[in-house]
Each structure stands twice: as structure tokens, then as C-alpha cells.
Structure 1
Amino acid sequence: MKLVSLKLAIFIAMSALTPLKNIEIYNQDERGGGAIIGINYPLKSDKEIAFCRNFITYSLQQRRNTYHYPKPQEFMEIDRFALFALFSKLTPDNLKVGILYKKGELLAPQRNKLHCLLRQDLGIANEIINKKIFFESRHLFNLSYEWEMFKPSSDYLRHELTELAHEFYPAPKEMIIAINNVCNLKCVMCELHNPELQKNHKNDFF
């Protein structure tokens, strides 16, 4: 379904930004210089279509890199995108590095080093280069290093997190439950395995 009739390039990637063969590009303006709009959103009713229109209109007015993903709270890290509008500060080489890593053609140390060198060449600040948490998703961070979060109305966000929750937070396809009364994982972050605390344990559960 065609959402807009505007002079811009539209990126439609229905699963993720990788691999590149899953991305279709529609350019309605041969002169270029427009925006890249990414849509990975369930357009099930006029309500969702209207929301996408509003997002695109807002983004074109602001002309800033903008993304949207429904979150229970804004500081939640995600690894997907629902909508994005890209205008400037593109880092396509970093996106290519991410794709090569996903395809198993780069090891993690190689990926990290290349990301760092590519961003240093662009004069990007160290605090951005050393970023560890990606509220916009790592995929979008690899596409550009600067993003603004789009904030829908509280009513519409409630609609996304309830009626559309299965689209954005699908349930596990498989669950394995082990009946056991002994915890032997010894997770390094678990204080219950702290040697000092173990002195006070009254049974062998831990």
C-alpha cells in the first residue's frame, strides 16, 4: 500500500536492515537529496496507516534522523526498528561491516576495530564511538550515529503495546522448563554465589 506521494527515497525492509538483498529502494525524485524512510510496521488498519503518515510528515518537517519503536519506557534498548527517517550523517560503511559480521565473514574483534576506525575517519566524537547502549538499535546506529526518538501520544503507544504487542514483542516459540531444586549456574553477577554471602546459606540450594 502506498502511504505517501512525496519526492523521497523510501527504504522498505520488512525484517531488518540485513541482508541487503531484502531491501527494496523506491526513488521518486531523480535529483536525489530527499530522505530515506524505513518501514517495518504492521499496517493492519487505517489507524496504523495514519500513524505512519504522521511519522513521515513529522520527519520531513523536522529533517532530523528520527526513529520509532514502541517501548514500555524510552531507555529500553532494542535490536529492531519499526520506523525510521534518515536525512544526514550517514555511515553506510559501518552498516556494511555489520552485515559482514552477521554473515559470519568478520569476527567480533575485527568488526569492533573497523567500526572504530571508520568513525574516527569521519571525526566522530569518542563518546559516540565508544557507545555501548543503542536505544535506536545497533542496526540504525550503524546507518547513522545521530538519532532522535519519535514520541507518539500515550493513547497510541498503549495501542501498540497492547493490541500490537505480538508484532513488536512476539512470544517465544519454544520454552524448556526443568524441574530442579538446585541452582548450579554460578552466574558471575549473582550475589548469592558471592563467597561471603555463601557463609550464611542454610541449605544446599545454592
Structure 2
Amino acid sequence: MLLLSSCASDTKPKATQRLDFETWCLQSKLEYVSPPELSAAKASEVPVQKLAAQLGGGLTVKLQCGIKIKSESSFSTTSYYELRDAKGSSLAKFPSRISPPGFEGNFRLWSSPDSSLILIYEWIVTGVDSHEMYFVFHKEESWWSARGVKIPLFPGSGNAPSLDDPNERPGNTGPYGPHVLGVSGRSLIIIPKYGKHRRARFEDMEAAHPFPFIVG
């Protein structure tokens, strides 16, 4: 029986092609950052005191701590972040994983000059492992919305970044991050790879939700 070579299946393993950083940035819709944008991002952090931050225009972001909820092997909480205006009216909310005792943690916050884009980075330590998340409050015309975002991190070889590798870990405060420098205009200035900065629109980032999460 004659087996044509063109019909034979290729059983040779195919080598994994390493993705270069610039190609990955194009695929992830990450753009170059100008020096003024870097300066603006570095100046955009707002101090957090007693789980609250005071922003311009009378806006306030405060973490309301609740209780943790266990469902089989996963958890959620009744905790949430709330954005309020100068009159104390609630504008938007987003869930939090912080729920002491048990899920201890904190958060950092960055805001655009007009406070129309607010980025929050949260981390918790459970005693078994650590968790982090990012989300934004953003204003569109006359209304506010909240959206979880996943910060893109360059995978290098195609696998997930190694958090133990200093070349893949921009880390600062929190269990692993933050992998952000701050906010400039309507963009997040992120650190997708050690020593690299890029600009990203939150609309182009993968959406994320904090619940449920696994401990251990």
C-alpha cells in the first residue's frame, strides 16, 4: 500500500515560537508612553487613609468591609468600594475581597486630574496565599460605571509570568504588584515587563471580576 507523503500526518513536535515583546504589545493594544504621560502617571496616586481616599471635586472612595461568604471551595464577601460625591450620594460600587478577620489587605488608588478615571489596586493575604485585583471607576458623560480589569503581563515564553522572577515582577506594594504606574488622561500607564512602560485604554483590557476566588 502506497502512502503519499503529502497525506501522511506530521508527528514531529512543533517548536514553540517565542513571542517577542513588541509583537505582543501590538496584539494586546499597548502603546508607547511619552515622558509627559509618565510624569502625569507618577503624580496621579491619591493617598489612602483609614480605607478611604479624598479626590478632587468632593469625590470620595471608601471601602466598606463586610463578611466573607464560603460556597463549597470558593469564597466571596459582602465588602465593596463605594464612590460618593460631595453631597454623600452614591455614584458607583465595586466588590472587594477584603473582609477582616481572615482576609486582611489594603488598596492603592490613582486618579486622572478631572477624576473621570479612577484606578484601584487591591491585595489580600489569607494566611495561605495572596490575591490581587484591579478595577476602575470611570465617568461617561453624566453617569459612573465600575469595571474590573486584568493588567496584561508579558508572558515571555508563552507561559504565565513567573512572579518569582525579578525580570517579570515589577512589584512594589502588595503580594505581587502593582503592575501599574498610574493614570494619565483616560489611559492606564502599566508595567507589562520589568523596566517597560506602556499605555492602555481600560476598554481594551480583559474584564475581570473578583468573585469567586479560591484560598489555598
Which protein has the bigger strand share? 2
Normalised to the residue count of structure 1, the TM-score between the two structures is 0.26
Which protein has the bigger helix share? 1
